[in-house]
Amino acid sequence: MLEEKRLFILDMDGTVYLGDRLFPQTLPFLRHIKETGGAYIFFTNNASRSRKTYEGRLASMGIPATPDEIMTSGDVTIQFLKTYRDSSKVLLLGTPDLEQSFRQAGIALVQDDPDIVLVSFDTGVTYEKLDRACHYVRNGAEFLSTHPDVNCPVDRGYMVDSGSLCALVTASTGKVPRYFGKPHMETLQMIMERTGCQKEEMVVIGDRLETDIALGALNGVTSVLVLTGVTSRADVETSAIKPDIIVDHIGELFSTGA
């Protein structure tokens, strides 16, 4: 099934590494892809870091990746705003790294009277910021979010993520956001535009059913679930979202690691 694939869309945490620990199968797997004429792109829903920051993180683990081989849900959201909401003023709940990415893209970030309230992974969130976001959503601002993940996995377990903050805004306002990132079609469209690959030439690999595997299942892309992250075989049995392939780790796909 994988012999005809040209592009491997790889999740990061839980797929090629866990926390600060690089999986031993990762580097042989990546080398195999390049040696056989394929390509890979790292895609994460975690918009708290920029592509440049992720490039440095991957390099610190010895993982070869150029900026063009890294994408985040923040990048997808920026492209949407530049294409369809270019003159809009945006109230952003996000990290300083994400704010910098938006400003560099020429997006107008404001604190008052926004056209759009955009909620992301914000490790500096305060009651004042949430109340401000709710006020403007309640009064007609468009409600968007970079990604739907409710928790972000960390060494100690989980951190509150974008989807949980959105749930609070929804509870207060009755408004539901438009999400980007995995598993939404805008993500796949951006990958296709950047790489020139068609859906049948791609495979998405990750550890989360509701984002990684759903990106494939909902959009006609072959999907591979790795059991090195948050999902178990028992989870698959009870889920409506089914991967095309299940492996214990990415090394099993091409026998590149034990």
DSSP 125-182: --HHHHHHHHHHHHTT-EEEES---SEEEETTEEEE-HHHHHHHHHHHH---PEE-ST
Q: What is the share, in percent, of the chain residues with pLDDT greater than 90?
A: 89
User: Is 11 an annotated catalytic residue?
Assistant: yes
Work out the mean pLDDT of the chain and round it to a whole number. Answer: 94
User: Is 13 an annotated catalytic residue?
Assistant: yes
- The structure tokens listed for 186 are 């805008």
CATH 3.40.50.1000 given to domain 85-179: yes
Q: How confident is the model at residue 53 (pLDDT cuts 50, 70, 90)?
A: very high
Which residues belong to the annotated binding site for Mg(2+)?
A: 11, 13, 207
**Dist CA 115 CA 139 (whole Å):** 10
Where does the chain hold its CATH 3.40.50.1000 domain(s)? Answer: 7-45+182-254, 85-179
pTM of this structure: 0.92
pLDDT in tens, 111-128: 999 999 999 999 999 999
CATH 3.40.50.1000 given to domain 7-45+182-254: yes
Catalytic residue among 13, 149, 161, 212: 13
pLDDT in tens, 202-217: 999 999 999 999 999 9
Which residues belong to the annotated binding site?
A: 11, 13, 182, 207
pLDDT in tens, 61-110: 999 899 999 999 999 999 999 999 999 999 999 999 999 999 999 999 99
Amino acid at 28: P
Catalytic residue among 11, 75, 161, 212: 11
